[in-house]
Amino acid sequence: MKEKTLGLIKPDAVKRGIIGEILAVIESERFEIVGLKMMRFERTEAEAFYAEHQGKPFFEELIDYMTSGKVVAFVLERENAITRYRDLMGTTDPMQAQEGTLRKLFALSKNENSVHGSDSSAASDREIALIFG
Ligand code: IDP
Ligand code: MG
């Protein structure tokens, strides 16, 4: 069954001018982009988006980073889009990420790791509603 997932190009990547490069990899891997916008998170919006991480040691650093510049949000559609896009992104820490993954190719650090992808269908529904209404 076709599935939707929510992706973000995070501020480190927008600032470095690699939006096109990242979207080109995603399209070349045969994901269909069915929604796309540039936006900037307000602090309260970023805190809501990452509510599951509230209280963790990296939370403040994460919110500072995610509100430090614009992001590009997109919705991908494909069979098994959620897992497939997580696989294309690679691990949270780019030092651990496999060759060819977006984070191996583009990420700067475990925090500034260039891309986000929903990790479940509940998360995908919630994140698409938060960002695309
Ligand atoms: P994910 O983005 O791979 O799903 P999560 O564990 O959901 O990873 O963490 C959300 C985001 O928080 C990460 O993408 C990264 O930007 C940041 N983050 C996670 N763990 C750490 C950490 O240990 N140090 C710094 N930043 C972190
Ligand atoms: Mg996550």
pLDDT of residue 1: 83
What is the mean predicted confidence (pLDDT) over 62-89?
Answer: 98
Cα–Cα distance, 71 to 131 (Å, whole number): 11
Choose the residue to mutate in 111, 112, 115 for probing ligand 1, maximizing ligand atoms within 8 Å of C-beta.
111
Beta bridge partners of 39: 71
What would the pLDDT profile of 54-66 be if each residue is shown by its tens digit?
999 999 999 999 9
Relative to the CA of 92, which ligand 1 atom is closest? 3
Ligand 1 is surrounded, with C-beta below 6 A, by: 53, 58, 61-62, 92, 110-111, 113, 116, 119
Beta bridge partners of 56: none
What is the mean predicted confidence (pLDDT) over 115-132?
Answer: 98
The fold for domain 2-38+73-132 equals Alpha-Beta Plaits (3.30.70)
Half-sphere exposure of 81 (CA within 13 A, CB side): 25
What is the mean predicted confidence (pLDDT) over 107-133?
Answer: 98
Relative to the CA of 112, which ligand 1 atom is closest? 16
Choose the residue to mutate in 92, 112, 119 for probing ligand 1, maximizing ligand atoms within 8 Å of C-beta.
92
pLDDT of residue 115 exceeding 90, the answer is yes
pLDDT of residue 37 exceeding 90, the answer is yes
Structure tokens belonging to residue 50: 């990452």
What would the pLDDT profile of 100-112 be if each residue is shown by its tens digit?
999 999 999 999 9
Tell whether pTM > 0.85: yes
Name the closest-CA residue to atom 17, ligand 1: 111
